[in-house]
C-alpha cells in the first residue's frame, strides 16, 4: 500500500538550516510578526521573511494558506514556504496549513519550523494526508517524497499526540488505495486477500465463499455476482479491543469491485469510474486497519460484501425475483440497483450473528444523492436520533461533510412490488431516500442504524483540502472519531 510520508519531530534548532537543500516552511501569525522560531532563519535570508510578512500580499492571505519564496539568498534551500497560521489554531485550520506544506513535499524533504504552535500534531496529520500520491501504474512515477522534520518545542509530547493520527492516516491511505485500484487488479479475490493480510496487525479475518453464502441463504447478494467470473465473497473483520462480552459496533460496506449495471447496462461514458463502487467496503477496511494499528479499546466488527456486477448469459435479469437471507422476497426490476441487494443480506447476517449495539452501512449507492448534495456532503439516514447526532458531531469535528436526509413510511409505497414483497428500485423520484428505505427493511426492530450514501464523496474530480483528486477516504476519520468518543472503554 501507499505509505504515509515519514515525519520526525525534533527540538527547535537553527543549526544546519543554511545548508539544508530541501524546502523550509515557517509559520507566521496573522499579525505578521515573526516569532523567535523564525528570526534566525529570517536573518539568514536577509530579512526576506519579515518583508513578506509585512506586505499586502501576506495580509490578503487566508489563514492556512501558503506562499513560496523561491531560492532565497543566504541559504541553500530551494524555497522558504511562508504559512499563515495563528499560534493556537483550530484542528481544521492546522490540518489545512499542514496540507499546504504536504502538497509541495519534494524528494529532498521539508523542515517545518513549528516551535510552540499549539496545532503541531494536527498540522503533521494534514501534511501526511495531502502528501498522498497514487502513482503505482505510471511508467515514470513521481519522485519519492523526502523526509519531513517538524522542529517543535516539545518533541515527545507532540509525537505522542500525533501517534494515533499516524495510524489514522494509514487507514485513510489504505482506503484511498483500494478505491483508486483498477478493477482488473482489485478483483473480489484480490480484495479479500488484502483484507486477510490484516491478520498480521491483529484483526481476526474470515472469508465466506460462494458455497458458504448459499448455505446462509444470501441469494440477494449472490444474484448480483452470478454473471461475473470473479466469485462473490463476504469478508468479516473483527477487532476485539474492548471488554469481553460487550456487543460490538458493526460496520457494513458495499464492495462492488466493478459495476457495469448488469443487464440494465450503464451508459459507456463515465463507466470507467465504476472501479470506485466498492468505496463503502474500502472505508470499512480503512477503519478496521486504523483500529488495529492504534489498538483501540473497543469491540468492532467490519463486514464487506464483495461482488462484481457484469452482463453475461448467467447474469441476473430485470424481472427476476430473489429471496434474501431475511426471507424477504425482492423483485429485481433494475440490475443497476445492485448495491442494496448486497447490503440487504450482509446487514441481516451481521445482526443475526453479532447482535451489534449499533450498525452503520456505507455505500456508493445512488446518483440521486449527488443530485441532492453534490460532492460536498454524504447523505445520512438513520432510525435513531441519538446515534445519528453522535455520528454527525464526529463528522463535523473531522471536517467531513455529512447531511441527514429523511426516512418515512410514505416512501414504502414507492418500493412495493406486484409479484414480491418489495422491488429494488423506485426510479428517479426520491432515489436516495427510497434506497435507504429499502435497506431499512433489513434492520431488526430496536437496532440503532445509520446508512451513509457516499456516492458523491468517495471519489472526486478535484483535489480537496487534504487530498488530491481521486479517492478521498471519506468516512475513515469520522467513524474512527465516533468509535473513540462513543465506544472506547
- The mean predicted confidence, pLDDT, of the chain is 97
Q: At what angle do helices 155-180 and 120-130 cross, to 10 degrees?
A: 20
Mean pLDDT of 298-306: 99
How crowded is residue 52: how many other Cβ atoms within 10 Å of its Cβ? Answer: 20
pLDDT at 415: 98
Whether the per-residue pLDDT at 313 is higher than 80: the answer is yes
Q: Is 10 a catalytic residue?
A: no
Whether the per-residue pLDDT at 329 is higher than 80: the answer is yes
Q: Which one of 84, 130, 340, 423 is the catalytic residue? A: 340
Cell of 329: 422476497
Q: Can you tell me the distance from the alpha carbon of 421 to that of 322, in angstroms, rounded to the nearest whole number?
A: 10
Chain centroid to CA 232: 23
Chain centroid to CA 323: 32
Please report, for the domain that includes residue 118, its CATH number.
3.40.220.10
pLDDT at 430: 96
Instruction: Please write down the long-range contacts of 315-321, taking CB distance under 8 Å and 24 or more positions apart.
Output: 315/226, 315/227, 315/262, 315/263, 316/223, 316/224, 316/226, 316/227, 316/262, 316/263, 317/263, 318/263, 318/264, 320/223, 321/419, 321/420
- Asked whether residue 59 is assigned to any structural domain, the reply reads yes
**H helix or E strand, kind and range, residue 341:** helix 339-354
Which ranges of 24-105 would DSSP assign to H, the alpha helix?
A: 39-44, 48-53, 56-60, 91-102
How crowded is residue 54: how many other Cβ atoms within 10 Å of its Cβ? Answer: 13
Whether the per-residue pLDDT at 143 is higher than 80: the answer is no
338 assigned ligand-binding residue: yes
Place of cell 504559512: 83
Q: Are residue 175 and residue 139 in the same domain, yes or no?
A: no
Q: Are residue 144 and residue 190 in the same domain, yes or no?
A: no
Express each pLDDT in 58-97 by its tens digit: 999 999 999 999 999 999 999 999 999 999 999 999 999 9
pLDDT at 412: 95
Q: Are residue 147 and residue 201 in the same domain, yes or no?
A: no
Phi, psi for 286 (deg, rounded to 5)? -65, -40
Query: Of 395, 220, 234, which Cα lies nearest the Cα of 320?
Result: 220
- What region, left, alpha or beta, does residue 171 occupy, with left being phi > 0 and alpha being psi -120 to 50 degrees? alpha
Which residues, at least 6 apart from 388, have a Cβ–Cβ distance to it below 8 Å?
380, 382, 404, 450
- Asked whether residue 80 is assigned to any structural domain, the reply reads yes
Q: Are residue 270 and residue 231 in the same domain, yes or no?
A: yes
Q: Which one of 87, 103, 240, 266 is the catalytic residue? A: 266
144 assigned ligand-binding residue: no
Mean pLDDT of 324-349: 98
Q: Are residue 97 and residue 22 in the same domain, yes or no?
A: yes
Express each pLDDT in 223-233 by its tens digit: 999 999 999 99
Q: Is 266 a catalytic residue?
A: yes
pLDDT at 489: 73
Whether the per-residue pLDDT at 141 is higher than 80: the answer is no
Sign of CA dihedral 380, 386, 391, 396: positive
Q: Can you tell me the distance from the alpha carbon of 224 to that of 207, in angstroms, rounded to the nearest whole number?
A: 18
Express each pLDDT in 338-388 by its tens digit: 999 999 999 999 999 999 999 999 999 999 999 999 999 999 999 999 999
Whether the per-residue pLDDT at 142 is higher than 90: the answer is no
Whether the per-residue pLDDT at 152 is higher than 80: the answer is yes
Q: Which domain holds residue 346?
A: 171-487
Q: Can you tell me the distance from the alpha carbon of 107 to that of 335, in angstroms, rounded to the nearest whole number?
A: 47
Express each pLDDT in 190-205 by its tens digit: 999 999 999 999 999 9
Q: Are residue 403 and residue 482 in the same domain, yes or no?
A: yes
pLDDT at 326: 98
Cell of 16: 544546519
Number of domains in the chain: 2
Q: Can you tell me the distance from the alpha carbon of 157 to that of 72, in angstroms, rounded to the nearest whole number?
A: 32
- Asked whether residue 85 is assigned to any structural domain, the reply reads yes
Tell whether pTM > 0.85: yes
312 assigned ligand-binding residue: no
Amino acid at each position: 500500500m501507499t505509505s504515509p510520508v515519514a515525519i520526525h519531530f525534533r527540538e527547535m534548532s537553527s543549526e544546519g538550516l543554511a545548508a539544508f537543500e530541501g524546502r523550509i516552511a515557517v509559520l507566521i501569525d496573522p499579525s505578521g510578526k515573526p516569532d523567535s522560531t523564525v528570526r534566525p532563519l529570517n536573518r539568514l535570508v536577509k530579512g526576506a521573511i519579515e518583508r513578506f510578512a509585512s506586505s499586502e500580499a501576506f495580509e490578503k492571505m487566508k489563514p492556512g494558506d501558503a506562499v513560496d519564496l523561491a531560492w532565497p539568498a543566504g541559504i541553500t534551500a530551494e524555497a522558504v514556504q511562508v504559512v499563515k497560521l495563528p499560534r493556537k489554531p483550530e484542528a481544521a485550520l492546522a490540518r489545512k496549513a499542514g496540507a499546504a506544506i504536504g502538497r509541495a513535499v519534494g524528494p529532498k524533504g521539508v523542515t517545518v519550523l513549528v516551535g510552540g504552535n499549539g496545532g503541531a500534531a494536527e498540522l503533521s496529520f494534514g501534511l501526511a494526508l495531502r502528501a498522498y500520491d497514487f502513482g503505482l501504474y505510471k511508467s515514470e512515477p513521481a519522485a519519492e517524497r523526502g523526509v519531513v522534520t517538524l522542529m517543535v518545542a516539545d518533541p515527545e509530547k507532540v509525537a505522542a499526540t500525533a501517534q494515533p493520527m499516524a495510524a489514522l492516516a494509514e487507514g485513510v491511505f489504505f482506503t484511498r488505495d483500494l478505491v483508486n485500484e483498477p478493477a482488473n487488479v482489485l478483483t473480489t479475490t484480490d480484495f479479500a486477500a488484502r483484507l486477510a493480510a490484516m491478520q498480521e496487525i491483529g484483526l481476526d479475518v474470515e472469508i465466506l465463499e460462494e458455497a458458504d453464502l448459499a448455505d446462509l441463504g444470501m441469494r440477494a447478494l449472490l444474484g448480483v455476482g452470478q454473471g461475473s467470473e470473479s466469485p462473490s465473497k463476504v469478508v468479516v473483520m473483527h477487532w476485539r479491543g474492548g471488554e469481553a462480552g460487550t456487543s460490538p459496533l458493526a460496520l457494513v460496506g458495499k464492495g462492488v469491485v466493478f459495476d457495469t449495471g448488469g443487464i440494465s447496462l450503464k451508459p459507456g461514458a463515465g463507466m470507467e469510474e465504476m472501479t470506485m463502487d466498492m468505496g463503502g467496503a474500502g472505508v470499512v477496511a480503512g477503519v478496521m486497519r486504523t483500529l488495529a494499528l492504534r489498538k483501540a479499546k473497543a469491540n468492532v466488527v467490519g463486514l464487506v460484501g464483495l461482488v462484481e456486477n457484469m452482463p453475461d448469459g448467467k447474469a441476473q435479469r430485470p424481472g427476476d425475483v430473489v429471496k434474501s437471507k431475511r426471507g424477504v422476497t425482492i423483485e429485481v426490476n433494475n440490475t443497476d440497483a445492485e448495491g442494496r441487494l448486497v447490503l440487504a443480506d450482509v446487514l441481516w447476517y451481521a445482526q443475526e450473528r453479532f447482535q451489534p449495539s449499533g450498525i452503520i452501512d456505507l455505500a456508493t449507492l445512488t446518483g440521486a444523492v449527488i443530485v441532492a448534495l453534490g460532492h460536498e456532503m454524504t447523505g445520512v439516514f438513520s432510525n435513531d436520533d441519538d446515534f445519528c447526532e453522535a455520528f454527525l458531531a464526529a463528522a463535523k469535528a473531522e471536517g467531513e461533510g455529512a447531511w441527514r436526509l429523511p426516512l418515512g413510511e410514505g416512501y414504502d409505497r414507492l418500493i412495493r412490488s406486484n409479484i414480491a414483497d418489495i422491488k429494488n428500485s423506485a426510479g428517479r423520484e426520491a432515489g436516495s431516500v427510497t434506497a435507504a428505505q429499502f435497506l431499512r427493511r433489513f434492520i431488526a426492530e430496536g437496532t440503532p442504524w445509520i446508512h451513509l450514501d457516499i456516492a458523491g464523496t468517495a471519489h472526486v474530480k478535484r483535489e480537496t483540502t487534504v487530498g488530491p483528486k481521486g479517492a478521498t477516504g471519506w468516512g475513515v476519520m469520522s467513524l474512527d472519531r465516533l468509535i473513540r468518543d462513543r465506544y472506547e472503554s
